[in-house]
Chain A
Amino acid sequence: MRKVLVLILVVAYGFAFAQTEVRVWHMEQPPYRVERMQELIDAFNAANPDVRVVQEVQNWGDVVPLALGAVRARIQPDILFTIPDFTVTMRATGAVQPVTELAERLDEEHGFLDAAIDPYTYDGEVWAVPMYGMVMSLWYRADVLEDAGIDPPSTWEELLEAAEALTGDGRYGIGIPGSRSLYTDQVIYNFMITAGAEDIFDEDGSIRFDNPETVRAFEMYERLYQYSPPDSVNWIWGDAEAAFAAGQVPMIVQFTVITTFDQQTDEPADNLQVVTIPVPEEGGQRGNIYYSNAAMILTTDEDRRDGAERFLAYLLEPETYGRFLTMEPGLFLPVTADGQDAATFWEDPLVVAYGAQVETMIENSQYGALFGFTTGQVFDEIGPISAQNLLSQVVQQMVVTGLSPEAAVQWGQREMEDAAP
């Protein structure tokens, strides 16, 4: 009898203190980001004894096959960080669970920016909870431009003139990528937005890539590319930042350079400046690529889902949100109204040092757009178009194969039409 009682007590104890494990896949690989995430997870786990959040770090290069394979093997994470086009791809597996109720509740509490949540809202549901925004701008070395008597460029012609004037003596006027990469997709898309070619799809979902505005943007890119280092044909984000920090290029189009500039140069913070992407003199519009990274929930288990929702809500609380964002200061921008005022964000030493630059980035984020997510509708073609980096392949057709901008854009139109699943 006593044995039975002990057994019952042990089982009851086990149930009472059972922990629900919540596995989180994110792609923030740098060690200091992983460390910051772990600090936040530890604090959450301590405050929520019934949940045990575990982070598993992946990388953007591999995550598509890994996540698809995990879903197939039914070992997918409970939370998977995402960007808009990856969400479209993952939705096709049927594993992504709607988070509409959670998103509405968090929106009431914190106020999501429209540009952050819209790309995840379609088919009557919200498919991921926005977590942080990223915006591209034109970063430049203020001292270099000042020495050359050049004002920060605000138009395409000024940008070209500046890039030409700054090229020489082993230095290149600007660093823009020509690689087949997401980075090149993003940089060329800035020029497409400012040229008025931000829509890749028509309302009915047909591809409208081949149009005069797109050609104009690619012509500009081709002209500008002649002032970029030859090896920029193989650049990804880190290469551009390294070239900038090494003084090889005084201007780059990038999400942020703050951490690299601060750590790898002895220059004062004022020497790093940022402006919005220059616009064409005629018929141009202000704009830049902006998108939010978000978190999908892939579990159907009630306890795990509850744990996942509580963890995401915890990250968006202003007291913790600033610490979450400053895992990479000056790169991750708030996607909530109260997050923009969070003391934990603005008190970070790097954000204090580069406060003016961060404010410019936040302002730029209000003019943001993302390819494939501009018409209020989401079409399945954006998955393969984005995954193939087709925009950057069009750039390569110009700068490597030697096609004219018109021919390259026509090539891109055909490839995008062929990308239909």
Chain B
Amino acid sequence: MHRRRAWLAFALLAPLCIWLIVTIVIPIAYLVQLSFTTTGIFGTAAEFAGLANFQRILGSERFWQSARNTLVWVIGNGLVQVTLAFTVARLLYRRTAFTRFMQIWIILPWVIPGVAAVIIWRWMLSGIGVVNYGIQSVGLVDAPISFFAQPSIAMATTIFVNSWRWFPLLTVILLAALRNIPTELREAAMVDGATENQTWWHVVMPLLRPVLYVLGLLGTLWSANVFDVIWLLTRGGPSGGTATLPIFIYEEAFTRFRLGSAAAASLFMMMFLLVFVVLFLQYGWGRDLRRRR
């Protein structure tokens, strides 16, 4: 009986295992293999290169600049998106006709295809775009602002556009989590004399923590892997100021034609993210879970 059950379990799990092997294990194995070869242009012959690709990557100023940019990008996006999402979720928390209307339409930036949204923003932020026209019309500035001229401004602008696209999703998730918190708990705190802010900070926030941990983990991984928004807005420029690791990897593979080095950089990035996940689970979410038990 037990053996039959075991076979049934294997049979049921087999499709998933095969799927994971085909979509994750084999590509990673291929990536590892590529990283030890001299593969240049995709599909061409290559030789064993030992650790040369890893040495090249670690000695590349562009790689470290991209790693720094990735850190700024992830932290910047995290701060902007969480702040926006929290603020809007809190505003939409109260049920009125307006908030009911808004909680449907707020998801609109998420619904617009990414490429279209980014191209629209690129035009709106250009020297002859509507944003410059608006701020010049109301007298805020005399000359058009160049949102992509300097690395720091370009990075801030790119973070803003990416956050604009992603924060509605976070808002909806947070709003759903907020609505799941029993109102009795907040009312009890208020009866005990807690102010609105104290109630949010000491009652609501701790109850939201599991959702925030999930968002923090997924959001970081998603942000770190964003390619389309940056590529379409700045192509990593100016002067590499917005080039994150995915941009670096793409360029290494398809503009510098060093697929082996690109594979090595991908492995580094995967390791960074794995270390982050482990630390996050160990000291963040995991510690919180252990404390709750």
**Residues of A in contact with B (beta carbons under 8 Å apart):** 64-65, 68-69, 71-72, 89, 92-94, 170, 178-181, 229-234, 239, 242-243, 246, 248, 383-384, 387-389, 393, 396-397, 400-401, 419, 421
Contacts and interface: CB of A to CB of B under 8 A. Distances in A.
Contact of A65 (B42, B143, B147): B42
A178 B41 CA distance: 28
Contact of B128 (A71, A89, A248, A383): A248
B234 interface: yes
A400 B128 contact: no
B43 A396 contact: no
A244 to B, nearest CB: 10
Given A93-B44, A234-B237, A248-B127, 6 more contacts: A71-B43, A93-B41, A383-B257, A387-B254, A388-B256, A396-B237
A239 to B, nearest CB: 6
B238 interface: yes
B251 A400 contact: no
Contacts of B145: 230
A230 B144 contact: yes
Contacts, number: 102
Contacts of B235: 179-181
**B contact face: mostly helix, strand, loop, or mixed:** loop
Contacts of A239: 126
A231 B148 contact: yes
B87 interface: no
A231 B127 contact: yes
Contacts of B144: 229-231
Contacts of B122: 234
A68 B259 CA distance: 12
A242 B119 CA distance: 14
B127 A387 contact: no
Given A248-B128, A400-B151, A65 B253 contact: yes
Given A180-B238, A400-B151, A72 B43 contact: yes
8 contacts: A64-B254, A92-B41, A170-B143, A231-B146, A231-B149, A234-B146, A234-B149, A389-B255
Contacts of A230: 127, 143-146, 149
A243 B44 contact: no
Nearest to A94: B44
B246 interface: no
B282 interface: no
B55 interface: no
B33 interface: no
Contacts of A397: 239
B239 A396 contact: yes
Given A71-B43, A234-B149, A400-B150, A387 B257 contact: yes
Interface in B13-67: 40-44
A93 B254 CA distance: 13
A170 B142 CA distance: 9
- Could you say which of B41, B128, B147 has the most chain A C-beta atoms within 10 Å of its C-beta? B41
Contacts of B256: 384, 387-388, 419
